[in-house]
Structure 1
Amino acid sequence: MSWRILHILDHSLPLHSGYTFRTAAILQHQRALGWHTSQLTSARQGGSGGEHLVDGWNFYRTRELATWWTRLPVLRQVGLVVGLSRRLRQVVQRERPDVLHAHSPGLNALAALRVGRAMGIPVVYEIRAFWEDAAADHGTSPAGGLRYRLTRALDNYLLRRVDAITTICEGLRADIVARGVPAARVTVVPNAVDLDQFTAVPTAAGMLAHQLGLTGKLVIGFIGSFYAYEGLGQLIESLPKMLASVPSLHLLLVGGGPQEETLRARSAQLGIEHRVTFAGRVEHERIAGYYALIDIMVYPRLPMRLTDLVTPLKPLEAMAQHRLVVASNVGGHRELIEDGKTGLLFRAGDADALAAQVVRLLRQPDTWPMMRLQARAFVEQQRNWPASVARYRAVYQQLAPR
């Protein structure tokens, strides 16, 4: 069947995040299956509404309600749902979708459920993360606080009422089922990579290495957003111990975020600022050159609900590009990395354990070729986007009688 699917999203390209990259992959591969997609973003995207063409994709935008009451706490969230519901009705009348596919947060699913029930269209709710956990980590809402509990209660309400549920990993699926949702109603559509886009990285460019002061050095690195839960502070703390064993080591951090100034300050306090390079944010089309400079990618995520439940995209991209990976043993990493085979894991939150695993891998270069091949094979066989997106077929088919 050639499905007509309307995706309801928090934000999209041209903003860059794991959320937007997953969305782009879903749209691309659903179109490759012959399905028609249309896409609508909430007012959190920003802008004045209308339509927006990005990389060949036409996104419907939602204008934020400009009323006095939407400036008040909680009522602002109500305003987002009201505005999105109104805009969604307009898009539905134009696109005539078979399915409303709402992606977290729950406010998007609430708007989709309101419109879907009124217009007789089934609703799929895709949970990519529990946003109350992300808000708690970012410091915008305390864990266990009123907003945290309200957001969790909203998700529980939605999970009981939508027609189908998808999520990105087994950790989130287990949490959803633990809330009383029948396991048969929850389908995992895992994160994956585009094998054509993420191939073996080119040989390290001498000019870029020279510009960054990395010529002739062993380089460990991280590429991504500098959020607290990524554990980059632990990586900085572990570096002096690594340097004691491997004096030629250098740390390359590519990206940016709220932790950057803290990381710079701590590097200076430890007297290792000359061993840490902050490369800043890099355009997506140039990122392969930075991967090529890094001998070992390090992902030191801290232990918490968010990291135990959610699988990240970045380690998969690194593995697809034949990069060596060392990561903390949070649940999200354990779904992706087999310790000793496709990478190495260390005890999350332990800077000494992190240092020991990196040094161990650096001292065993004879294991590198096989580990790289096995990591790439895992991605090719289990985490490619065509196979992942094809799982939506069974989800949509079960809604056909409606």
Structure 2
Amino acid sequence: MRILFLSYWGLNDGLTTSTVFPHLRLLQERTDVTAILLVTIERGADAQAELLFEPGFEVSKITFEPLRSRPSRNVLVNKIEDFTRFPRTLIRQVEEFKPDFLLARGAPAGALAYLVWQKTKLPFYVESFEPHADYMLESGVWRSYDPRYLFQRHWETKQKQLALGLMPVAENYRQQLIAEGVPAQRIATVPCSVDAGQFAYNGAARQRVRESLGWAGTDVVGVYVGKFGSIYYDEEAFQVFRTAADFFGADFRLVILTPDPLDEVQAKLAAAGVSAGQTFVTKAAHQEVPDYLSAADFAFATIKPAPCRLFCSAIKIGEYWASGLPVLLPEGIGDDSDIIKREGGGAIFNLDRPSTVSEALANVAQQMAQPGYRQQVRHLAERHRSIELSRQAYTHFFGVPALQ
């Protein structure tokens, strides 16, 4: 098989490192895959930069040809230009590379795959398929009259009708797709998987990080990884941090790993009443994250609830679990809120009922008091976020590769 793999994120994006590269490794392992053309979409500073794979990443079957977005001050104009120019470039790539099918990562990439299908009838599959248009609408990023929303929603309908296979990240969405009339055999649930070995708890890293920050081994450390705003709580997240600081008292410490401007995050912490002496805020490379997780005792995943959030799978939750961290999570987030209710590995809160934040913190504190709690939590990542689920989906759609 020759596969054109289309990622909607850039080569150096953290989501590419954490979600695309593991799948490329799986595809390269298959004896029936002879060549992969990786196509990424590069924006901002990387749009014209030289792009290199991370050291040690095996590319024996992979060639790389990025789509480079042109700079524009207007986001809407920029996106419209992308969705008119990129399909033409992809069609040229299809003509030259001659793939058997296109494998798109994410519903926006799936939209491009559909536009290519219109002209070439090249079969396509969509990984990480989610209702992206409704996500953006419910998050307040797009409006119902926004052309981006209208086009993306239309293109998602076409993906449901025409893709040979859809791989939603939540079982909740698989059931919804079946209810909408998509045949069950064309759907396989593939949550955002994590490398459990990469994120395994490391006692030496825990001690090293805490010592570097001047924090005691007995301090209670919470960690948050990611952005603020859009599909995540913003000011509300900092109030949750403040509640945790009040709950655990003087021993509480907080690590925030974020791509957001650090001075803005620190200002929000100060406005919420979380003291600078309790916090450490930095931008960390993906390979640095496991050490900070090892230094923590529990984690925050302050994803903003909305109807479509039932269909998501946040990679950070899998990474937290793989490190053995109980997760403080809002109600109604993907399959994970229900997993936590059934199996532990954190606690659920609802900001419409403010008292539930303290109740969830008390629940997390009880879990942390249990001997071997990190290993118990880690089993959730092994059960629900294993890369093996992706391998099974590829077998379902592409068949069992012949032995060499």
Alignment TM class, shorter chain as reference: 0.7 to 0.9
Range that drifts further, 202-211 or 320-329 = 202-211
Range that drifts further, 202-211 or 83-92 = 202-211
Gap runs ≥5 in structure 1: none
Residue 60 of structure 1 and its aligned partner are, at CA, apart by: 0.8
Residue 162 of structure 1 and its aligned partner are, at CA, apart by: 2.8
Aligned residue number for residue 296 of structure 1: 298
Range that drifts further, 138-147 or 287-296 = 138-147
* Alpha carbons 1:116, 1:122 under 8 Å: kept: yes
Q: Deviations over 1:51-93 (max 9, x none)?
A: 9441344421124479xxx998866545323322222233223
So what's the TM-score if we normalise by structure 1? 0.82
Range that drifts further, 323-332 or 359-368 = 359-368
Q: Deviations over 1:137-156 (max 9, x none)?
A: 66542256554233212211
Amino acid aligned to 2:362? V
Distance 2:91 2:338 in 1: 39
* Alpha carbons 1:226, 1:255 under 8 Å: kept: no
Aligned residue number for residue 313 of structure 1: 315
Aligned residue number for residue 271 of structure 1: 273
* Alpha carbons 1:29, 1:386 under 8 Å: kept: no
Change (3 A) 1:5 1:156: same
Change (3 A) 1:205 1:193: closer
Aligned Cα RMSD in Å? 3.3
Aligned residue number for residue 29 of structure 2: 32
Residue 225 of structure 1 and its aligned partner are, at CA, apart by: 2.5
Change (3 A) 1:222 1:351: farther
Residue of 6, 23, 32 corresponding to 1:8: 6
> Percent same amino acid at aligned positions?
19
Residue 128 of structure 1 and its aligned partner are, at CA, apart by: 3.6
What does 1:53-92 align with in structure 2 at a 5 Å threshold? Answer: 53-55=52-54, 56=57, 57=59, 58-64=63-69, 76-92=78-94
So what's the TM-score if we normalise by structure 2? 0.82
Change (3 A) 1:161 1:202: same
Aligned residue number for residue 224 of structure 2: 222
Change (3 A) 1:335 1:22: farther
Distance 2:365 2:64 in 1: 46
What does 1:316-335 align with in structure 2 at a 5 Å threshold? Answer: 316-332=318-334, 334=336
Aligned residue number for residue 361 of structure 2: 358
**Corresponding residue SS for 2:370:** helix
Residue 335 of structure 1 and its aligned partner are, at CA, apart by: 6.0
Aligned residue number for residue 190 of structure 2: 189
Q: Deviations over 1:82-117 (max 9, x none)?
A: 3222222332233321111123344x3344334445
Aligned residue number for residue 47 of structure 1: 47
Range that drifts further, 383-392 or 336-345 = 336-345
Whether 2:10 is the aligned partner of 1:21: answer no
* Alpha carbons 1:168, 1:311 under 8 Å: kept: yes
* Alpha carbons 1:62, 1:83 under 8 Å: kept: no
Q: Deviations over 1:286-343 (max 9, x none)?
A: 2222112211112232211343220111121121122233322223153673336332
Residue 6 of structure 1 and its aligned partner are, at CA, apart by: 0.9
* Alpha carbons 1:220, 1:297 under 8 Å: kept: yes
Residue 388 of structure 1 and its aligned partner are, at CA, apart by: 2.1
Residue 379 of structure 1 and its aligned partner are, at CA, apart by: 2.5
Distance 1:238 1:52 in 2: 39
Distance 1:134 1:261 in 2: 28
Distance 1:346 1:196 in 2: 26
What does 1:94-113 align with in structure 2 at a 5 Å threshold? Answer: 94-106=96-108, 108-113=109-114
Aligned residues: 389
Aligned residue number for residue 284 of structure 1: 286
Residue 187 of structure 1 and its aligned partner are, at CA, apart by: 2.0
Change (3 A) 1:286 1:123: closer
* Alpha carbons 2:259, 2:283 under 8 Å: kept: no
